[in-house]
Structure 1
Amino acid sequence: MAKYYVGSITKSDRIEKLKEDLFANMPVIEADRAILLTESYKQTEHEPIIMRRAKAFAHILKNIPITIRDNELIVGSSTKAPRGCQVFPEFSFEWLEAEFDTIATRSADPFYIADETKAQLHEVYTYWKGKTTSELAASYMAPEALKAIDHNIFTVGNYFYNGVGHVTVQYDKVLAIGYEGIIQEAKEELAKCHVYDEDYITKSQLLNAIILSCEAVIEYAERYARLALSLADECQDINRKKELLYIAQNCVNVPRKGATSFYEACQSFWFVQMLLQVESSGHSISPGRFDQYMYPYFKKDMEEGNITRELAQELMDCIWVKLNDLNKARDAASAEGFAGYSLFQNLIAGGQDADGNDATNDLSFMCIEASMHVMLPQPSLSVRVWNKTPHEFLIKAAELTRTGIGLPAYYNDEVIIPSLTNRGLTLADARDYNIIGCVEPQKAGKTEGWHDAAFFNMCRPLELTFSSGMDKGVLVGVQTKDVTQMTTFEEFYDAYKTQMNYLIGLLVNADNAIDVAHAKRCPLPFLSCMVDDCIKRGKTVQEGGAIYNFTGPQGFGIANVADSLYAIKKLVFEDKKVTMTEFKKALEENYGQPEGRVEELTKAVLEDLMAQGAKITEEDIAKICAVTLEEVKNNPNKKRYEELLDRIDELPKFGNDIEEVDLFARDVAYTYTRPLETFKNPRGGQFQAGLYPVSANVPLGKQTGATPDGRLKGKPVADGVSPTAGKDVNGPTATANSVSKLDHYIASNGTLFNQKFHPSALKGREGLEKFVALIRTYFEQKGSHVQFNVVNRETLLDAQQNPENYKNLVVRVAGYSALFTTLSRSLQDDIINRTEQGF
């Protein structure tokens, strides 16, 4: 019998009850943190910002309501309601106040917010006007950068409205020495400081802030210990009473001290994971190599007979459920881009150790097993693959993929490790990489990567090339030559590169403005105590305290741009089947198609009528739409446009293992990745490119005009490095071959490759073997990442029509999985329309 606890219910019943409670109601926005934060800030007006942050954190942890949910073995919740979320006015608040009355009914990630909460937050927000990071960041940005954002060239909303997150801390350090050990480390460093040191003022303040933050965490855990004891006193179920007593003892021991058992290690891990997200509103706080830093505690307990594998698995399953309890509210536009309530908590298994030996262990398999048991989107499970990865580990991973949950994602050590060493990481650190959020590699506990720093739509500079830099009557880009006067494809391609280079520079300006604003107004002492070398350097991660500092904005739309440029090259300049004037006109008129044009033309008519004081009824709108639709259908150029679309469709497309097109796409990707890496950030680090959109390719596609690859206005842009949906027609191997020809090494902030398989493709052991062989082949050709949806089109269509029958259907969206029924209709359509592959 295990020494930890006697279960009050069976393992499977516990998990199902925890899941049932988690999803019983719509997520709720709570005001406790915002109220407590503001109380503290009002009391510390004239103190250094780092101490204000630490004191606010301590005040929150001392007073925020705590709860232990029924059947929990791992405790600690940031909200009273399951899947609830706190809000963070120090970063931004205007968007939430503006959405008080719509956030519960919006299409993507709705939240319930009580009238009382609205009133409380409205009162809180009166204090924060003029004090947020978003307001400071906007004041730092160049006018040209603000203009580019307004015209949807790129968006930096992720960190403009929120905290950064996107980090993996030293979980292993907390497990080993606890926060008492970190406090002692800070005190020893403080003792070395002298009042006459050039950095004494800032360093001593940070060290004192770290000490205060760690002490607050210890006290917070003790609050849970007292609550567990109180509940145990009242509990009539003898088995649950024993569980609560174990919980109480755990919370006394950890995270104050180092963990002495696997159960303590699990509880300590959870406090770290949850409290990082109380300190700031950042997402993608990723557990990293859980199977590595937790394994010594599992191994010791197993060898000493203190735990069974079954009980250890149950504790892990409970953590997997808890990871779905964390939540955050985003503005409506961002919610469309991150639909599915995801926090992108990436947990990775397998791979190699710092010395280059295979590191796969029992917990690596148990991580996969936990995702099979829980069947929820979080954690965003990943596996590392290299030539010595055990075959049965990949088969186990493939079994999870076969369930259709969209997990795990697969990463190639043979590409990622050298790409990181090329960015300055030591070989040992690069070998010990983990994945952040969607697909971003970094070394845990040493990196402030600023992954997902922006979304750059590579199709918009292509639009500006056709308009000589103009958008809606405003010069947004560079005033390049009129395309109808260009005589060679090289001239056109150079104009596109000119637009790209200029706009990438504006993206850098916007990112750096936000970077500085976070350092000035929201440094994070608690986070910084778990990232090297902040304590010794006397700097928070926001100020450059980490050993490795990067900024990683991602570009997307490669397939659209590559296929578009190839179409112009072939049809206009080589085959001369169409003139540039005709092509430009076709794009302006959306190839004569009603999609997009009806909305645009109707809006213009309505605005004209309303300007004249007319009252518009729904019947009027219907009539106007009908007339406008008829106008579009009767376009005299319609037949010519249909012929042009046919010609475009006949051209070879990226994703079919056609060398000429694939290498052209590789060069197109360089128009984003190469200029970006020449820039520096305020923390002394380098910009590095990612090539993935999360799920922003759908909402940002709505803001993008028609493109020369035949894509209509408003339609989704291609996701990640994947081919355009429906254009990869030569099978999964051909698609993988095409994607592998891109330069994944230079895109060291990550690339994202989606594939979709019919369930029959992975049927039986033979199907699993073929699937693993496909991954191996792709990785041998230096692909970096791949992830899969295994679900048939009919199931998704039925789930769209009858969501009540598919409440537990989890699918892969982009770099994350989500419950299908929680996604916006447009994002559901994008997943449905992806090419369905088979062997």
Structure 2
Amino acid sequence: MCGTDKPSVTGNGQCESSPTDCVGGLFEWRKKPSAGIKGSEKRKVQKSFGAGHKNTERVLKMQKNGLKGVLGPFRSHRIMKTEMTTCVDGVFSQAKKLDQKSIFYEEANMAIAKGFSEPTDRIKQLKARIIDAMPTVEADRAELLTEAYKKYEGATPVIRNARANEAIFNGIPVTIRPGELIVGALTVTDRGCQIYPEFSYDWVEAEFDTMATRKCDPFEIPEDTKRRLSEVFKYWPGKTNSDLAHSLMSDKALECQAEGVFTVGNYYFGGIGHVCVDYGKVLRVGFSGIVKEAAEKKAALDPEDPETIVKTQFYDAVIITYNAAINLAHRYAAKALEMAQTEINPQRKKELLQIAQNCANVPEKPAQNFWEACQAFWFVQLIMHLESSGHSISPGRFDQYMYPYYQNDTIDRDFAQELVDCIFIKLNDLNKTRDAISDELFAGYAIFQNMCAGGQTPEGLDATNDVSYMQLDAIAHVGLPQPSMSIRYWDGTPDEFLLRACEVVRLGHGLPAMYSDEVAIPMLENDGVCLEDARDWLPIGCVEPQPQHKADGWHDAAFFNCCKVLDITLHNGKSRGKQLGPKTGEMTEMQTFEDFVKAYEEQMKFFVHYLVESDNCVDYAHMMNMPMPFESALVDGCLDKGKSVQEGAAKYNFTGPQAFGTADVIDSFVAVKQNVFEDHKYTMAEMMDAIDNNFGYTVDPNFNPTGSDREQGCGTAPASAGGGSTRSAMEQKVWEVVQSVLGESNAIDLSALNGGEPVVTGASAGSDQLAKWNKIHKQMLSAPHFGNDIPEVDLLGRRVTKIYSSEVHGQKNPRGGIYHAGCYTVSANVGMGRDVDALPDGRLAQSALSDNISPRHGFDVSGPTAANASSATIDALDFGNGTLLNQKLLPSAVAGDEGLKRFAALVRAYFDHKGYHIQFNIVNRESLLEAQAHPEQHKDLIVRVAGYSAQFVVLAKDVQDDIIARTEQTFE
């Protein structure tokens, strides 16, 4: 039985690690190899399972050989494939490098690349509509909702929202696009979006005339739509959810946000997302089954219980909402039947008649076959986006709830694959707009619909099935950013499945991302999730682990700028001259390195306090104002308790803010420790003078330094500098040749080169001062860097990251749950880098920050395995809200069968080191530069940004530059 008591990290409270394993922290659940198991026996265990369900034989052999694992019977485990030596505070201080050929037991007999079939003509045509569409704002939902709010203004919030749902589901235009097999659209236009004024609206009105031309995620707004929305917006001043949240926040919390320490805009201005509802329940019982359950629970209420009044409101709201949702599906059935009557193509006519039948049956009733299951799934996904503007509505473990309908159907596999492909197309038809600033943080029309495949069943058996492979093939066929496809890997994952996933990633779409069950399950248990629920986990949004349809994770609750906190620490609590944080001492007064660390800890504690206050204010606003009856009925706990998700009725409740700039902070601490406190290369005063003068560089007002320019600078030396060029004669000659050959022909953007010159910060500075600042800059850059498997650096990095995570973890939220930290950026490292001045690691003012837990671009120079080893030392248990590792590999590195095997070996090696997540861009710099120069020719180029993929050509140039600047790794 799945209990709720928080288990020990190891499940049984005992450490069974071998002497060379770590005895605490990140690696304390690592399983020691069972004595006497030889390589041949390991191979037998590995080969006792595959794509089918041969788990019984596998488990019996595991039991026979004593391979239960320390986390409980049938628990995920890992037979170690590395030899570790010494261990300090949970981090291996030395590790024998992995032999890539040893990762697969019989490399010569491994499955090799199989290639991919061509998508059908239908899929090609539907994809072309998505690629070619200019997203458009529509006003229908906003009008329908506002009229309902006016009519039911005196009702309780949950009934008011149910009546708004009813109005929307009954009135939203019904659209079936040409050639579709799965129907239901958010908007009439392809990739259009609706507006959600109940959460916020003023930014929409302010951007009426600029939204179509802004640099990130433009949307067209027709003049008639502007007129209609202007009328809608007259009702909303002082009534939105963001108005309520803002009124609850203290002045200091708002000031911290304004100064760029953190932002809580995701839920502040939008709806609740980051959830996976129970799609499988809809397939099993239908919407009518949910109406019946709500009615039965309402009838069973005790009239003497004072909570009956409130619970009755909730159950009535569920019944109203789901009856209206049934009607929405029936409207599509009628539309398909109407279209069939005039359709002259016999095949399409037959399809429309079947679509009409499907929509008449589901989602009202249980699904009877695979096509109906696909259609029922889609209505749930669509309605989740109609009810609220929250993003990261995760389809979850699609292969697990869809497989029974495929298994029991007589459907042709090719047609089943086309249906899955159609769902992938539909997921790209959903869209949302944000304000211009937020769109810089979520660049690329990102809505983070994370779909998962593989992993384990709640019983601990391998979950891979035929639908898992269909999901991978759908990525290859569709080649679009959504869904944010992920696979779960564990020791029971079939080799064929991992290789197939790597083969898909090799196509260059940045999909799927890869996750380790060996890490994710203990992460969830560490936060109080029971074993069975933890095994049934999925990644939400970018990388956030969550038990399926049982939690309100409130992930992506804030972007927390660790580099800004470091910047403020360097300046005794000041943010660009304003006293924002506590006075923790001038840097020149720091006597030891520990004084510096302590100051950073004090600033971190201060700002995390206001982060929590801000997030809780937003949380309270949603609780009071925005209970969501459709979502809540499909999250475990809500129907039983008679309360909404927003009121804390989910089985598990978390709040997950995420940090970024990790590598910049680590490298800064390393640079200060080495150059100031240990080697005494410079005094603290000299270092701070260089930092405050941006190491002698300035930023061109028209140039936002990112990528390689973050450390090298850009511009020309003014005459007042007195020194002219700082290059050697040979460097100057090369520069002149580059200018004449490449610059004049416009073959390359010279600002993207690494050789820019330092620009004096103040007119009074002379060449001697410039030279000194430049020398200090080079010295700080020369310190050891995170990402190169240097134990001293990685240990310090582990300590520094804990300063943030330990302050966040365990804080309380209004829903009765806890906070847990994450470390991932989306694309906020670019936009929020503008709030941070120069840092001790040599990063220049206002330039992009390091992303996620990845090393700084260009400083992980020891190869991909070394970069991965460093990233894996960041303790996953400290970051229950997830961590993210980006890596860019050259296509040549993974080419051919041998390259594919090396690629899979790299993934397994990272997971052997207890890494949680890794994702890849398989693309070279030249291809990206070509797409940047000629976007009209590369609309189908998909890249991995952070926890999501996007069309490269729709990203803002500074985000593109940041992706281009990522280190290109190879196995050479």
- Quick one: which amino acid aligns to residue 381 of structure 1? M
**Cα offset, 1:599, TM superposition:** 8.2
1:488 aligns with 2:592: yes
Aligned counterpart for 1:377 among listed residues 463, 475, 481: 481
Q: Is the 8 A contact 2:241 2:622 kept in 1?
A: yes
Q: Give the unaligned 5+ runs of structure 1.
A: 1-9, 601-625
Q: Secondary structure at the match of 1:434?
A: strand
**Cα offset, 1:269, TM superposition:** 0.2
1:207 aligns with 2:315: yes
Q: Is the 8 A contact 2:696 2:761 kept in 1?
A: no
Provide the residue aligned with 2:144 in structure 1: 36
1:327 aligns with 2:431: yes
Q: Deviations over 1:666-689 (max 9, x none)?
A: 111101111101310000000000
Aligned pairs for 1:147-166 within 5 A: 147-166=255-274
Provide the residue aligned with 1:607 in structure 2: none
1:138 aligns with 2:246: yes
Q: Is the 8 A contact 1:464 1:477 kept in 2?
A: yes
Q: Is the 8 A contact 2:119 2:478 kept in 1?
A: no
**Cα offset, 1:393, TM superposition:** 0.4
Aligned pairs for 1:195-594 within 5 A: 195-301=303-409, 306-594=410-698
Q: Secondary structure at the match of 2:215?
A: coil
RMSD after superposition: 1.5
**Cα offset, 1:627, TM superposition:** 11
CA distance in 2, matches of 1:687, 1:198: 31
Aligned counterpart for 2:801 among listed residues 669, 685, 691: 669
Aligned pairs for 1:93-108 within 5 A: 93-108=201-216
Query: After alignment, is 217-226 or 639-648 more displaced?
Result: 639-648
Q: Deviations over 1:20-76 (max 9, x none)?
A: 122323100000000000000110111111100000000011011110000000000
CA distance in 1, matches of 2:227, 2:588: 58
CA distance in 1, matches of 2:778, 2:943: 33
Aligned counterpart for 2:812 among listed residues 670, 674, 680: 680
TM-score in terms of structure 1 length:
0.94
Q: Is the 8 A contact 1:568 1:708 kept in 2?
A: yes
Query: Residue 632 and residue 836 in structure 1: after superposition, are their counterparts in 2 closer, same or farther (change >3 A)?
Result: farther
CA distance in 2, matches of 1:45, 1:195: 27
Provide the residue aligned with 1:656 in structure 2: 788
1:707 aligns with 2:811: no
Q: Is the 8 A contact 1:168 1:436 kept in 2?
A: yes
**Cα offset, 1:630, TM superposition:** 8.9
**Cα offset, 1:727, TM superposition:** 0.5
1:118 aligns with 2:226: yes
Q: Deviations over 1:458-490 (max 9, x none)?
A: 011111112111224422111111111111110
Q: Secondary structure at the match of 2:283?
A: helix
**Cα offset, 1:638, TM superposition:** 1.2
CA distance in 1, matches of 2:194, 2:701: 41
**Cα offset, 1:635, TM superposition:** 6.1
**Cα offset, 1:198, TM superposition:** 2.4
Q: Is the 8 A contact 1:596 1:713 kept in 2?
A: no
CA distance in 2, matches of 1:333, 1:389: 41
Provide the residue aligned with 2:122 in structure 1: 14
Q: Is the 8 A contact 1:409 1:786 kept in 2?
A: yes
- Quick one: which amino acid aligns to residue 260 of structure 1? Q
Q: Is the 8 A contact 2:693 2:761 kept in 1?
A: no
CA distance in 2, matches of 1:799, 1:82: 24
**Cα offset, 1:536, TM superposition:** 1.1
CA distance in 1, matches of 2:271, 2:815: 16
Q: Is the 8 A contact 1:459 1:560 kept in 2?
A: yes
Q: Secondary structure at the match of 2:572?
A: coil
CA distance in 1, matches of 2:155, 2:945: 44
- Quick one: which amino acid aligns to residue 786 of structure 1? I
Aligned pairs for 1:631-780 within 5 A: 631=763, 636-780=768-912
1:63 aligns with 2:167: no
- Quick one: which amino acid aligns to residue 284 of structure 2? A
**Cα offset, 1:540, TM superposition:** 0.5
CA distance in 2, matches of 1:25, 1:703: 34
Q: Is the 8 A contact 2:428 2:480 kept in 1?
A: yes
- Quick one: which amino acid aligns to residue 375 of structure 2? Q
Q: Deviations over 1:688-717 (max 9, x none)?
A: 001111111111112211111000011111
CA distance in 2, matches of 1:791, 1:702: 27
**Cα offset, 1:595, TM superposition:** 2.3
Q: Secondary structure at the match of 1:560?
A: helix
Provide the residue aligned with 2:70 in structure 1: none
Q: Is the 8 A contact 2:662 2:852 kept in 1?
A: yes
Q: Is the 8 A contact 1:789 1:812 kept in 2?
A: yes
**Cα offset, 1:788, TM superposition:** 0.1
Query: Residue 395 and residue 633 in structure 1: after superposition, are their counterparts in 2 closer, same or farther (change >3 A)?
Result: farther
CA distance in 2, matches of 1:389, 1:321: 28
Q: Secondary structure at the match of 2:322?
A: helix
Aligned pairs for 1:791-830 within 5 A: 791-830=923-962
- Quick one: which amino acid aligns to residue 140 of structure 2? D
CA distance in 2, matches of 1:394, 1:633: 58
CA distance in 2, matches of 1:595, 1:275: 47
Query: Residue 576 and residue 268 in structure 1: after superposition, are their counterparts in 2 closer, same or farther (change >3 A)?
Result: same
**Cα offset, 1:528, TM superposition:** 0.2
- Quick one: which amino acid aligns to residue 782 of structure 1? K
CA distance in 2, matches of 1:401, 1:789: 8
CA distance in 2, matches of 1:292, 1:47: 40
Q: Is the 8 A contact 1:594 1:632 kept in 2?
A: no
CA distance in 2, matches of 1:58, 1:598: 49
Q: Is the 8 A contact 2:561 2:661 kept in 1?
A: yes
Q: Is the 8 A contact 1:598 1:629 kept in 2?
A: no
**Cα offset, 1:745, TM superposition:** 1.8
**Cα offset, 1:598, TM superposition:** 8.9
CA distance in 2, matches of 1:632, 1:772: 57
**Cα offset, 1:731, TM superposition:** 0.2
- Quick one: which amino acid aligns to residue 75 of structure 1? V
Q: Deviations over 1:618-670 (max 9, x none)?
A: xxxxxxxx998894985652111111122112211000000000111011110
TM-score in terms of structure 2 length:
0.81
1:51 aligns with 2:163: no
Q: Secondary structure at the match of 1:34?
A: helix
- Quick one: which amino acid aligns to residue 76 of structure 1? G
- Give aligned pairs, total: 801
- Quick one: which amino acid aligns to residue 870 of structure 2? S
1:172 aligns with 2:301: no
Q: Secondary structure at the match of 2:132?
A: coil
Q: Deviations over 1:128-149 (max 9, x none)?
A: 1001111111111122111100
CA distance in 2, matches of 1:702, 1:822: 21
Q: Is the 8 A contact 1:592 1:635 kept in 2?
A: no
Q: Secondary structure at the match of 1:294?
A: helix
Query: Residue 630 and residue 488 in structure 1: after superposition, are their counterparts in 2 closer, same or farther (change >3 A)?
Result: closer
- Quick one: which amino acid aligns to residue 395 of structure 1? L
CA distance in 2, matches of 1:562, 1:473: 25
1:84 aligns with 2:216: no
Q: Give the unaligned 5+ runs of structure 2.
A: 1-117, 705-757
CA distance in 2, matches of 1:774, 1:632: 53
Q: Secondary structure at the match of 1:372?
A: helix
Spell out structure 1 runs of 4+ moving beyond 3 A. 596-600, 626-636
